[in-house]
């Protein structure tokens, strides 16, 4: 087996990207290796020495020339799914060029390889021949073989595994093994935004079945056509997987993705002390949403503890946001009960109240005393709906994680805006509205409608990308509450410094770093999130903040000082640029 790795960040030394790669591969076998393939960028000497003569066009091109050609082809494709197939084929063929292309055209390409296009890609998984779905597909029957399968999938080692059981994909729910594409998309974002080495990551889907009837009855669905494992059988799969990772890749970072509720919280709590673990749906989403709220408060000159916060959708993401806000409120001196009094959570049964029996355990901490709803009107089914909560509570912040398209309708927005009329006049208070559900078709409202219905008052950030909104002759860019502003920098920092855990203080540091990068924190007329083109700068700021927090807490194996932490980050950062490739004889293992 030909080694393609750099020195692992989990070892004691981390050299910079070496200028030379060595390989025993020749001819077509070399061109089939995406981590080494340079296509037309191979020099004449390399072509001769590596037996590539005649296998490539005559021109020797730079990576910039190649990117121009890829961009021309990308622009010729109007359909997002066709564009996904195009860039996935590039990723499968030439890893360096793929990442260089993504880096040069972030605004156009990121929505294709990541949200919102990836949702449609996942839904089409069973009926489209999609390239780029490489990864490890683990069924319960494979549990005894897990250590060997991990070594075979990543013979040179892994620093980060992105793992899903695909039960809670985006806003589209259980998608079986199609969730492998969300893992691949987020791994690309790790490299784009933070510089994580794409050769030392692994996408894993835990195929424990599916409860989606359309997949169970579909003869073309390639995963297990059986109901999802639950209880002890499900736990056994997770236990075996984590034990195997710990044995084969000790210290590796586990990124848990799109697990259903309540499994998401249970999995995170169960394994976060075993290996450094992070759940993006719980922790990443909570950080970007809380950062937007804090930036809006700072920009308006108001305090977080004076806000009335309504969260519409009390699932994994909504409860994660509520927990993050509680932590922030308590950090500002409020008691737990005082902090809870600032938050109103709404789910399928309406406003969550303590006397309700059907509240999931993950949401119960955010149910309010029944007396808080005295005098509230209910609908025909006895629920207190969103509009009634907005009427009575007069929220200053409204957050949507419901996947209920159009839930923030005109009456809700106008009522919220009118409810703040006096406060807006006396204290500069403006409604903060975050429709975070994605993909785009599931957004609680469009930014254009929110701005129009609020008379231009609403401060808006969305979960999916939206075009700028023109209101009263002025164009307002719409910030996207995209988790790519958090998880890449956080995960990369943990890998680079050898973090032994992901502490709450490290996540707090990521949040604080993101707030500093948000334009609205300095001027409420500016966006509530940084532009996507700044995602690399944001990733670097988050990574440094997380690394320094880890050092301060003593949970960084490779650094004990701030200077050492920054050096670790610099050494570990991968750059999408070609390196000279030299041949070696025979089948000996290559070294950088």
18-34 pLDDT, tens digit each = 689 999 999 999 999 99
| Average pLDDT score, the chain | 92
Cα separation, 514 vs 530, in Å, equals 9
Closest C-alpha to 496, from 11, 4, 5: 11
Task: Specify the pairing of strand 580-583 against strand 20-23.
Answer: parallel
| H helix and E strand count, the chain | 23, 16
Would the pLDDT of 3 be above 50?
no
**Given this chain, do its domains 21-249 and 283-484 carry the same CATH topology?**
yes
Cα separation, 333 vs 437, in Å, equals 31
Cβ atoms of 172 and 123 within 8 Å: the answer is: yes
Q: Which two tokens stand for residue 477?
A: 């860019």
Would the pLDDT of 409 be above 90?
yes
Q: Which two tokens stand for residue 456?
A: 């231009």
Instruction: Give 458's contacts (C-beta < 8 A, 6+ positions apart).
Output: 413, 417, 430, 431, 432, 433, 450, 451
Cα separation, 582 vs 592, in Å, equals 10
- Residue keyed to tokens 């993050």: 324
The most distant pair of C-alpha atoms in the chain lies apart, rounded to whole Å, by 83
What dotted CATH number matches 283-484?
3.40.50.720
pLDDT given at position 14: 42
Would the pLDDT of 1 be above 60?
no
pLDDT given at position 169: 87
**What is the average per-residue pLDDT within 371-377?**
95
Closest C-alpha to 511, from 538, 479, 477: 538
**What is the average per-residue pLDDT within 437-456?**
94
Work out the pLDDT band at 12, boundaries 50, 70, 90: very low
- Using a 10 angstrom Cβ sphere, with 0-12 exposed, 13-18 middle and 19 or more buried, the burial of residue 213 is exposed
pLDDT given at position 6: 34
Question: Which stretches of 165-287 are assigned E, i.e. beta strand?
Answer: 201-206, 253-257, 277-279
**294-349 residue pLDDT tens:** 999 999 999 999 999 999 999 989 999 999 999 999 999 999 999 999 999 999 99
Buried b / exposed e across 410-439, counting CB within 10 Å, b at 16+?
eebbebbbbbbeeebeeeebbbbbbbbbbb
Q: Which two tokens stand for residue 430?
A: 């403006």
pTM score, whole prediction: 0.92
Cβ atoms of 395 and 310 within 8 Å: the answer is: yes
389 to each of 309, 336, 351, 430, how far by Cα in Å? 11, 22, 7, 18
pLDDT given at position 129: 67
Would you call 514 helix, strand, or coil by DSSP?
A: helix
**193-231 residue pLDDT tens:** 999 999 999 999 999 999 999 999 999 999 999 999 999
Would the pLDDT of 575 be above 50?
yes
Of 372-381, 415-424, 513-522, 530-539, the least confident: 415-424
Would the pLDDT of 170 be above 80?
no
**What is the average per-residue pLDDT within 123-131?**
78
Read off φ and ψ for residue 548, nearest 5 degrees. -65, -40
CA angle (523, 533, 259) in 5-degree steps = 95
pLDDT given at position 422: 65
- Residue bearing the bigger pLDDT, 233 or 14: 233
**What is the average per-residue pLDDT within 444-471?**
96
Task: Specify the pairing of strand 277-279 against strand 459-462.
Answer: unpaired
Cβ atoms of 582 and 49 within 8 Å: the answer is: yes
217 to each of 129, 213, 225, 226, how far by Cα in Å? 19, 6, 8, 10
Cα separation, 110 vs 511, in Å, equals 22
Task: Specify the pairing of strand 343-347 against strand 309-312.
Answer: parallel
Cα separation, 146 vs 166, in Å, equals 19
Cβ atoms of 432 and 293 within 8 Å: the answer is: yes
Q: What is the DSSP string of 40-109?
A: GG--HHHHHHTT-TTTS-S----HHHHHHHHHHHHHT--SHHHHHHHHHHHHHH-HHHHHHHHHHTHHHH
- Using a 10 angstrom Cβ sphere, with 0-12 exposed, 13-18 middle and 19 or more buried, the burial of residue 79 is exposed
Query: Percent of the chain scored above 90 by pLDDT?
Result: 86
Would the pLDDT of 589 be above 50?
no
Cβ atoms of 449 and 469 within 8 Å: the answer is: no
Would the pLDDT of 72 be above 90?
yes
Element holding 285 (H helix, E strand): helix 285-300
**What is the average per-residue pLDDT within 157-179?**
92
pLDDT given at position 166: 94
Work out the pLDDT band at 127, boundaries 50, 70, 90: confident
What residue ranges do the domains of the chain occupy? 21-249, 283-484
Total length of the chain: 592
CATH code matching the domain that covers 21-249, chosen among 3.20.20.220, 3.40.50.10380, 3.30.110.40, 3.50.50.60:
3.40.50.10380
Catalytic positions are 114, 186
Cα separation, 448 vs 545, in Å, equals 35
CA angle (131, 281, 266) in 5-degree steps = 110
Would you call 120 helix, strand, or coil by DSSP?
A: helix
Would the pLDDT of 49 be above 70?
yes
Instruction: Give 281's contacts (C-beta < 8 A, 6+ positions apart).
Output: 168, 257, 258, 259, 264, 316, 317, 320
109 to each of 85, 96, 189, how far by Cα in Å? 12, 15, 11
pLDDT given at position 13: 37
């Amino acid at each position: 087996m030909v080694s393609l790795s750099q020195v692992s960040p989990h070892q004691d030394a981390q050299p910079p990207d070496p200028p030379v790669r060595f390989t025993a591969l020749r001819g077509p076998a070399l061109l089939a290796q995406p981590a080494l393939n340079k296509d037309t960028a191979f020099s004449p000497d390399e072509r001769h020495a590596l037996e590539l003569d005649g296998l490539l066009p005559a021109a020797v091109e730079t990576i910039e020339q190649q990117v121009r050609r890829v961009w021309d082809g990308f622009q010729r494709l109007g359909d997002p799914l066709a564009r996904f197939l195009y860039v996935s084929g590039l990723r499968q063929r030439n890893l360096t060029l793929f990442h260089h292309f993504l880096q040069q055209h972030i605004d156009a390409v990121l929505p294709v390889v990541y949200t919102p296009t990836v949702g449609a890609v996942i839904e089409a998984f069973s009926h489209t021949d999609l390239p780029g779905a490489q990864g490890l597909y683990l069924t319960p029957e494979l549990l005894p073989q897990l250590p060997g399968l991990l070594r075979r999938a990543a013979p040179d080692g892994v620093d980060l595994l992105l793992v899903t059981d695909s039960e809670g994909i985006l806003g589209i729910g259980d998608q079986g093994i199609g969730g492998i594409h969300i893992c691949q998309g987020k791994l690309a974002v790790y490299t784009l935004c933070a510089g994580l080495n794409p050769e030392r990551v692994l996408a894993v889907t835990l195929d424990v079945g599916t409860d989606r009837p359309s997949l169970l009855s579909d003869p073309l669905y390639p995963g297990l056509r059986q109901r999802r494992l639950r209880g002890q059988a499900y736990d056994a799969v997770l236990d075996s997987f984590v034990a195997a990772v710990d044995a084969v890749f000790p210290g590796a970072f586990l990124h848990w993705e799109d697990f259903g509720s309540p499994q998401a919280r249970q999995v995170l709590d169960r394994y976060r002390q075993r290996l450094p673990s992070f759940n993006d749906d719980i922790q990443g989403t909570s950080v970007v949403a809380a950062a937007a709220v804090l930036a809006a408060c700072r920009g308006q000159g108001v305090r977080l503890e004076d806000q009335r916060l309504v969260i519409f959708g009390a699932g994994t993401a909504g409860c994660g946001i509520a927990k993050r806000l509680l932590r922030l409120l308590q950090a500002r001196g409020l008691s737990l009960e005082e902090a809870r009094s600032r938050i109103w959570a709404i789910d399928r049964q309406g406003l969550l109240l303590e006397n309700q029996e059907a509240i999931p355990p993950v949401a119960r901490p955010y149910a309010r005393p029944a007396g808080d709803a005295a005098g509230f009107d209910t609908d025909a089914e006895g629920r207190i709906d969103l509009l009634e909560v907005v009427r009575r509570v007069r929220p200053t912040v409204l957050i949507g994680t419901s996947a209920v398209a159009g839930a923030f309708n005109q009456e809700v927005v106008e009522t919220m805006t009118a409810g703040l009329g006096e406060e807006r006049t006396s204290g500069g208070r403006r409604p903060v509205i975050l429709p975070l559900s994605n993909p785009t078709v599931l957004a609680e409202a469009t930014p254009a409608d929110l701005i129009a219905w609020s008379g231009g008052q609403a401060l808006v950030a969305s979960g999916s990308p939206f075009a700028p909104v023109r209101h009263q002759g002025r164009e307002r860019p719409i910030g996207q509450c995209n988790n790519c502003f958090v998880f890449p920098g956080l995960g990369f920092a943990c890998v680079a410094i050898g973090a032994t855990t992901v502490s709450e203080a490290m996540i707090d540091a990521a949040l604080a770093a993101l707030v500093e990068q948000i334009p609205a924190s300095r001027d409420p007329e500016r966006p509530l999130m940084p532009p996507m083109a700044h995602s690399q700068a944001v990733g670097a700021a988050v990574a440094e903040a997380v690394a320094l927090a880890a050092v301060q807490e003593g949970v960084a194996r490779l650094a004990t000082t701030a200077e050492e932490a920054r050096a670790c980050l610099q050494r570990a950062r991968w750059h999408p640029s070609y390196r000279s490739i030299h041949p070696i004889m025979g089948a000996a293992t290559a070294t950088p």
